[in-house]
A and B are shown apart, each in its own frame.
Chain A
Amino acid sequence: MWKPTADRTNSIRLRATALAVLLAGSLSLLSVGCSNVKELSYEPVRMDPDPARAKTKEISSRLLEMTGVKGKVTQPGPSVTRCREYGDDLFSTDHPWSVYEISDAQVEEGMQNLRKALGANGWKITKDGKANSQAQDPEIYAENKAEQFAVHITGEKKSATGGSLILFSVVSACFRAASPSALDGEY
Chain B
Amino acid sequence: MDYAALKALKPSEFTEAADGYKAASDMADHAYGDTEGQISARLREGLHGVAVEAALGSLRDLAKNFHYVQVECGLAATSLKAFAAAMTDAKKKLDDALEDAAHQKLTVGADGSVTYPPGGEEKDGKLPEGGTVTGSAKGKPAGTVIDPTRDANDLSAALERQAANIHPNPNFGKAVAIANRIAQAVAEATEADAMWAPKLRKLKADDDLVVSDKDWADVQGDTADVRAGAKDYLEHIKPPPKGDDPKANADWWKGLSPDEQSAYLSLNAAEVGALDGLPSVVRDEANRTVLAEKTAEFQIRYDGIPKEPQPRYHYVQHGRAWTREETDEWREWNDKYAKDKEFLKRNLDGMNAIQARFDATGKEGLPEAYLLGFDTKGGGRAIVANGNPETADHTAVFVPGTFTAIEKSEDYIGHMGELWKKTHAQVPGQNVSTITWIGYDAPQSIVPEAMTKGYAHDAAPDLNHFMAGLEHIQGGDGASHTTLIGHSYGSTVIGAASNAGDLRTDDILVAGSPGMLVGHAKDLDVEEGHVWSEAASFTKDQVPAGGKVAGLGGGTPFWKEILPFGSVWGQNVPSDEDFGAHIMDNDADSHTDYWRKDSFSLENQARVVAGRYDKVVLD
Contacts and interface: CB of A to CB of B under 8 A. Distances in A.
Nearest to B540: A33
Interface stretch (A72-80, A104-112, A114-122): A72-80
B364 A53 contact: yes
A160 B411 contact: no
B614 A19 contact: no
Interface residues of B, number: 63
Contact of B591 (A20, A127, A160, A165): A127
Interface in A65-88: 72, 74-79, 81-85
Nearest to A137: B615
A114 to B, nearest CB: 15
A84 B610 CA distance: 28
Contacts of B381: none
Contact of A184 (B352, B413, B585, B616): B352
Contact of A171 (B591, B594, B611): B594
Contacts of B562: 12, 16
Contact of A185 (B360, B426, B588): B360
Contact of B616 (A19, A133, A143): A133
Q: Is the interface of A mostly helix, strand, loop or mixed?
A: mixed
Contact of B595 (A31, A74, A133, A171): A171
Given A76-B421, A131-B617, A23 B447 contact: yes
A187 B590 CA distance: 25
Contacts of B48: 54
B599 interface: yes
Contacts of A169: 422, 599-600, 603
B614 A77 contact: no
Contacts of B613: 134, 161
Contacts of B92: none
B208 interface: no
B287 interface: no
A23 B599 contact: no
A30 to B, nearest CB: 5
A28 B336 CA distance: 31
A143 B592 contact: yes
B542 A30 contact: yes
A53 B542 CA distance: 34
A84 B616 contact: no
Nearest to B545: A26
Interface residues of A, number: 67
Contact of B594 (A85, A98, A135, A173): A173
A152 interface: yes
Interface string B528-570: 0000000000000011001001000000000000111101000
Interface string A9-28: 00010001101100110111
Contact of B596 (A75, A76, A92): A92
B446 A171 contact: no
A73 to B, nearest CB: 9
A40 B593 contact: yes
B612 A161 contact: yes
Contact of B360 (A40, A42, A83, A187): A187
A27 B364 contact: no
A28 B422 CA distance: 33
Contacts of A19: 549, 563-564, 567
A5 interface: no
Given A23-B447, A97-B425, A162 B612 contact: yes
Given A24-B447, A94-B418, A98-B428, A149 B546 contact: no
Contacts of A84: 411
Given A16-B562, A100-B429, 13 more contacts: A27-B546, A30-B542, A98-B428, A100-B428, A126-B590, A133-B616, A152-B600, A159-B612, A171-B595, A173-B593, A185-B352, A185-B359, A187-B363
Interface of B: 48, 352-353, 355-357, 359-360, 363-366, 410-411, 413-414, 417-418, 421-422, 424-429, 445-447, 542-543, 546, 549, 562-565, 567, 585, 588-596, 598-600, 603, 606, 610-619
- Nearest 3 Cβ contacts at the A-B interface: A185-B356, A76-B365, A77-B364
